[in-house]
Amino acid sequence: MGQWGNETYNGDSTMDFLQGHAVDGDLDSMTQKMADAAIDAVFSSPECQMERLGVVAWCITHGFKVTKYRLNKALGYANYELIPEKLGKWQNMQGRKDAIVLEMNKIRYALDNDGVARESARTITLPCFGIIVNLTGDGGGAISSNLQEEPNTDDLQSFTERDEEIKNTDLYNAGCDALESFIMACALSGVDIESKSFVEALETTMNAMGNNMD
């Protein structure tokens, strides 16, 4: 049995480590000085190797600068974590690999952008279902769409038929809520939701959902 999870920069042990260097454990209170202390501590302690990549990735994606020396050290550690012997310790090996690659990309971005990988706020408009994703640039965002439908009961004569239509529409809309949450999670984690393959996958999913409700 391998270790569970992917241990990305929002993994439990990483967050616990960072909270230990914030005022009263509140990450919103984190300052550059606190971030520097957390980075120094995670690299100086042999017992914190697992958190090194996560701490660096969290800092650079939350507006805190990390020196090029530390960024390159983190990249070296990430490459070490990608060797088969290390990945083999994880229950979800592919998930762990994907998480490491994503964080490596953020670190490489930071190396070219003054030690910070925090994105600016932006709006993504997809060419289907009226999907609009607003990213705040601080790890948050919102999504809107016209995926959901209203129950069409105008031509239905019996209460049974109307109740069935309302029930089916509620189930369909619950699926749409889940899909919106998935799209938002992908956008926040750095997935290119504007790519042709991602949009086609959304269209296929919605077609399948519609067919299942017929």
pLDDT per residue over 174-208, tens digit each? 999 999 999 988 887 778 898 999 999 999 999 88
| 1 band by pLDDT with thresholds 50, 70 and 90 | very low
Cα dist from 11 to 5, 54, 153, 194, 205, whole Å: 8, 8, 46, 26, 29
For residue 27, how many C-alpha atoms fall within 13 Å in the half-sphere facing its CB? Answer: 16
CA angle 75, 119, 79 (to 5 degrees): 10
Domain extents in the chain = 12-111, 122-213
pLDDT digits (tens, 9 = 90+) for 9-45: 456 778 888 888 877 888 888 888 988 999 999 899 8
Tell me the torsion sign for CA atoms 16, 22, 26, 28. Answer: negative
Residues 162, 156: contact at Cβ < 8 Å? yes
Instruction: Please spell the DSSP secondary structure of 15-65, one letter per residue.
Output: HHHHHTTSGGG-GGG--HHHHHHHHHHHHH-GGGHHHHHHHHHHHHHTT--
- DSSP letter (8 states) at residue 137: S
Q: What is the pLDDT of residue 103?
A: 83
